[in-house]
Amino acid sequence: SNCGTSGQLQVFDGTTWASLIRGGLPGTPTIGTVTSRNGVASVPFTAPVSDGGAAILFYTATSFPGGYTGTLNQAGSGTITVSGLPAGEGYIFTVTASNETGTGPASGVSNTVWPITLGQSYLGGIIFYIDETGNHGLIAATADQGMEIIWALPTYNDQNVETFTEIGTGSTNTDHIIAQNGEGIYAASLARSYRGGGYSDWFLPSKDELNLLYDQKNVIGGFENGYYWSSSEYKSIYANQFDFAWVQYFGYYLQEYGYKSSPINIRAIRAF
């Protein structure tokens, strides 16, 4: 035997030399829809139809611009993670497959993703929560909208409002509170009237959204070492059960209820 051109083995059968192809390059992977979260892109792909005659060893995803890469060591389809993407710029990706012979042609380009990170200034405030898709979340105002603010106007302090506690309900809560109270100087109204970044969809966070805000208080900054209102009413066991709403103490972790007439701080948030 004898080595011929790259990827070939020359074999002599006693009469003539013959070239046996040891392996060609893999085919072209198919790229999927890329998502990003906290500066990390997830790049899904489907394996090429042909492995070139030799098992695929790994796949590589490459960003444009920047040339950031990630690899996945397997033969079949999967998702490649590309880390360290700076925020503030859009990225597209391609994927290649490699076997023992070399690297095959790149896939088509992906959709564009814009990496976002916790603590990033974005759309009028500071990002403090990113959901599992990496494309949506919550933004906090950069400063409080009021101190020593009541939750509802005195006429409505003891009346039931349809509110919820979960993430994603703060805006609805705010709408319901304002519908009952009308105009006035109180927590939900002041949060809604905030115009940070020119946006008009700010709201008072729900109980669970307020807890997320507390978790990122050092990233956001500017909080008082005191209580903050949520937009979630507290359903009390007391005789007049609608006197209270959920609050959170920002000196340390503590969620409890406060009288709606109590003077407490507020910080507006918005969704993206």
Q: Measuring CA to CA, how many Å separate 38 from each of 85, 127, 131, 272?
A: 9, 10, 10, 15
- Is the per-residue pLDDT at 32 higher than 80? yes
pTM over 0.75: no
Q: Which residue has the higher pLDDT, 3 or 154?
A: 154
User: Which range has highest mean pLDDT (21-25, 47-51, 116-120, 154-158)?
Assistant: 47-51
Q: Are 79 and 41 in contact (CB under 8 A)?
A: no
Judged against a pLDDT cut of 80, whether residue 10 lies above it is answered with: no
Which element (helix H / strand E) includes 31? strand 30-31
Poorest-confidence range of 14-28, 42-56, 123-137, 170-184?
14-28
Q: Are 47 and 124 in contact (CB under 8 A)?
A: no
Distance between CA atoms of residues 172 and 225, nearest Å: 27
Percent of the chain beyond pLDDT 70?
A: 90
Over the stretch 82-106, which tens digit does the pLDDT of each residue have? 999 988 789 999 999 999 999 999 9
Residue 80 corresponds to which tokens in the numbers above? 């490649």
pLDDT at 176 over 60: yes
Q: Is the pLDDT at 171 greater than 90, yes or no?
A: yes
Split at pLDDT 50, 70, 90, the class of 15 is low
User: pLDDT at residue 3 above 80?
Assistant: no
CA distances from 77 to 69, 112, 238, 258 (A): 17, 21, 59, 53
What integer pLDDT is reported at residue 238 of this predicted model?
67
Residue 19: pLDDT band (50, 70, 90) is: very low
DSSP structural state of residue 263 = -
pLDDT at residue 22 in the model = 56
Residue 197 above 60 pLDDT? yes
Least confident among 19-33, 73-87, 255-269: 19-33
